[in-house]
Amino acid sequence: MKIGIFGGGQLGRMMALASYPFNLRFSFYDAAKDCPSAPLGQLFGDTQASVESLDAFIASADVFTYEFENIPVAWVERIAAQKPVYPSVKSLAVSQNRLNEKALFKQLAIPAAAYREVNSPDDLIQTVQELGLPLVIKTTMGGYDGKGQFVLRDSKDVAQAWAELERGAPLIAEAFVTFERELSIIAVRSQTGEVRCYPLALNTHHQGILSHSIVPAPQISAATKAQAEQYITQILNELDHVGVLTLELFDTAQGLYANETAPRVHNSGHWSIEGAVCSQFENHMRAVAGLPLGVTEAIRPSAMINIIGQHPNTADILAIPETHLHLYGKSERSGRKLGHITITASTYQALQERIAQVAAHLPNKMAL
C-alpha cells in the first residue's frame, strides 16, 4: 500500500519512519524540495499549488492523510471524490476553523471559553462589553505556536488588536480562562470505530511555543482522566474521525475546559516514540491503512523537549541516559522547531533530573 501525505514536514517524516516496517510506502505533497520528508518518498507540489501537481499526487498513492490542518478543504474534497482520505473532510473543516470548533464543543456540551465572532473593531468593542477583559483574540484559521493571536488587556488597545489581525478576519474573541495547568490528550480511532486514548500530557509553553511535555501528567485524578477521555471520544465519534486526534485542555478549578483540537499527530505526543508501547505516529498510520490499533499505554514516565532555534551538541545530549535525539534536518532560525528530545526514567524525580541535564546543554534556554 502507498500512502500520500499532505505536507513534508517533521510530522510526515515521523509517520513514514514509524510505518516503513509494515512495508508501507509514501508520497508527499510539499512545495519545499528540501523538506524533512523528502528522502522518504516521492515528492509532489509546486509553489503555485497547481491542479496538475495535485492530480499527480492523487495518482501516486492508494490512500491519503495529512500532517497539518492548514490546507484547503477543496483539496481534500478533490481527493475524497477519487480515493480514501483519513481523517475526513469533516474533521478538517472543523479543526481548521476555530468558530466551527467552538460550535462543536457547544453541540457536545464540552466546556470551553465563552466566545464571539468578530468582523470589525465595533464588534470587538461590543465583545469587550459582553465578555469583559482580558480577551484572547485569534484568527479563525491558520496561526500556530502563538502566531495569529493577541491578548487584549485594555480596551484602548482594540484598534491595535484589530490592525494586527484583521487580515485573518473574521476573528474569534475568547474570554480568558484562568487555569492551573495546560494538558492535552491524544487518541486514535480506527476505521471500525475503535478508540484508544494515550495518557494525558502536562504541557509547558514558552513565548507561545510548546517547550516540553511530561507524560503521564503527574497528579491526575481518575475523574479528570475519565473526563478527558470522554470529551475526545465524543469528538472522534461525532466527526467519524479515522486516525489520531489531539484535544488541548485547560485544567481549571471547575474541571477541564477544551481549548483546541488538531486532526493529526501532535507535538505533545512525540514522547510516545520511546515512551509508549505504540507511538502516535505508528497508530495513526495503522488507522489510515486499516490495520489493528496498537497499545497506547505509557511504558514509564517520559518527557519531550522541543529544540527551538539552535541545535544542541549531539554528543552532549546522547551522553545522558535514556535520552533520544530527533533532528528534522532543518536549518537554524529563531523560533523554528529543529527537533525534539525524548527522555524516559523509572520515576518522576529521575525524569526531572534528566530534564535538568538536557536543559543545561540547550543553547536556546526555555522554561524547563
Helical ranges in 2-113 per DSSP H: 10-19, 51-59, 73-80, 89-95, 98-107
pLDDT at 47: 87
Q: Please answer whether residues 15 and 28 qualify as being in contact, where contact means their C-beta atoms are separated by less than 8 angstroms.
A: no
Which residues, 6 or more positions from 59, have their beta carbon under 8 angstroms from its beta carbon? none
Element (H, E) at 211: strand 209-215
Q: 199 preceded by cis ω (within 30°)?
A: no
**C-alpha grid cell, residue 124:** 470587538
What's the predicted TM-score (pTM) here?
A: 0.95
The per-residue pLDDT for range 306-347, each reduced to its tens digit, is 999 999 999 999 999 999 999 999 999 998 999 999 999 999
pLDDT at 231: 98
Q: Please answer whether residues 35 and 11 qualify as being in contact, where contact means their C-beta atoms are separated by less than 8 angstroms.
A: no
Domains in the chain with CATH codes: 2-85 (3.40.50.20), 114-175 (3.30.1490.20), 181-360 (3.30.470.20)
Strands (E), 119-161: 135-139, 149-152
pLDDT at 145: 65
Q: 216 preceded by cis ω (within 30°)?
A: yes
pLDDT at 142: 80
Share of the chain above pLDDT 90, in %: 92
Q: Please answer whether residues 143 and 69 qualify as being in contact, where contact means their C-beta atoms are separated by less than 8 angstroms.
A: no
Q: Please answer whether residues 239 and 189 qualify as being in contact, where contact means their C-beta atoms are separated by less than 8 angstroms.
A: no
**Angstrom distance (rounded) from CA 106 to CA 111:** 7
Element (H, E) at 203: strand 201-206
**C-alpha grid cell, residue 242:** 479515522
Counting Cα atoms < 13 Å in the Cβ hemisphere of 19 gives 30
pLDDT at 365: 64
Which residues, 6 or more positions from 185, have their beta carbon under 8 angstroms from its beta carbon? 197, 198, 200, 201, 228, 229, 231, 232, 246, 247, 249
pLDDT at 367: 52
pLDDT at 93: 95
Neighbours of 48 (CB within 10 A): 9
Element (H, E) at 66: strand 63-66
The per-residue pLDDT for range 30-68, each reduced to its tens digit, is 999 999 999 999 999 998 889 999 999 999 999 999 999
> What parts of the chain have a pLDDT lower than 70?
143, 145-146, 365-368
